Amino acid sequence: GAVVSQHPSRVICKSGTSVKIECRSLDFQATTMFWYRQFPKKSLMLMATSNEGSKATYEQGVEKDKFLINHASLTLSTLTVTSAHPEDSSFYICSARELQGLRGYTFGSGTRLTVV
Amino acid sequence: DAKTTQPPSMDCAEGRAANLPCNHSTISGNEYVYWYRQIHSQGPQYIIHGLKNNETNEMASLIITEDRKSSTLILPHATLRDTAVYYCIVSRGPNTGNQFYFGTGTSLTVIP
């Protein structure tokens, strides 16, 4: 079945630095990928829709300059958290849509970001 | 915004059927019902989806009411590994590129 890989699975960074998270579709092409954020004991919150070859669409309240998304190929989308602060610490999850898929979106295993 | 309502938590005895309800009273005619589950600190896992007919696969069964305003996910023989948060999502489906918005889900605990 469709597999989505996220890297890294865990990252710790210092306040003020930037962190890049990769989301790859391993055995299928994905024109659309989605990025979510999840705080402890909370549900997934959609941050943005990433479209290959075009600008990402951000949900209301999500700062596009803070969370940079690049979807440069049909198998890779990246999320860069710029000038990270402790409140950006969260679980970040991506999902992708297989072009001919009928089962819904496939989700990555998530990235645990801790900003110290 | 999420368009589903689920009970926040449920318990189920190991080996028994787990029946997880979901209300989606504002579902549109072209929207599917999807079920995903999330085991702690992992990404959500697809379980099953349906439009209006009941569906069954190797993981679960999905019962959708005739008016499509609610559905029930059935895990026929719950095991300890089924302990997870279960999310019911309505969406026009991935072929449309539509977003999935997650509600609060149901935290299922399978008890030995």
Confidence of residue A35 (pLDDT cuts 50, 70, 90): very high
Residue B2 has pLDDT above 60, yes or no: no
- Please compute the mean of the pLDDT values over residues A31-48 and round it to a whole number: 94
Q: Give me the pLDDT at residue A53, please.
A: 84
Peptide bond into A8 cis (omega under 30): yes
Among chain B, residues having any CB pair with chain A shorter than 8 Å are: 2, 34, 36, 38, 41-46, 49, 87, 93-95, 97, 99-105
Confidence of residue A103 (pLDDT cuts 50, 70, 90): low
Q: Which residues does B3 contact at the CB level (< 8 Å), separation at least 6?
A: B24, B26, B27, B90, B101, B103
Among chain A, residues having any CB pair with chain B shorter than 8 Å are: 4, 6, 31-32, 34, 36, 43-46, 49, 91, 93, 95, 97-98, 101-110, 112
- Please compute the mean of the pLDDT values over residues B25-54 and round it to a whole number: 93
Q: Give me the pLDDT at residue A28, please.
A: 86
- Please compute the mean of the pLDDT values over residues B66-70 and round it to a whole number: 95
Contact A34 B93 (CB under 8 A): no
Confidence of residue A98 (pLDDT cuts 50, 70, 90): confident
Q: Give me the pLDDT at residue A2, please.
A: 81
Nearest CB among B38, B42, B49 relative to A104 is that of B49
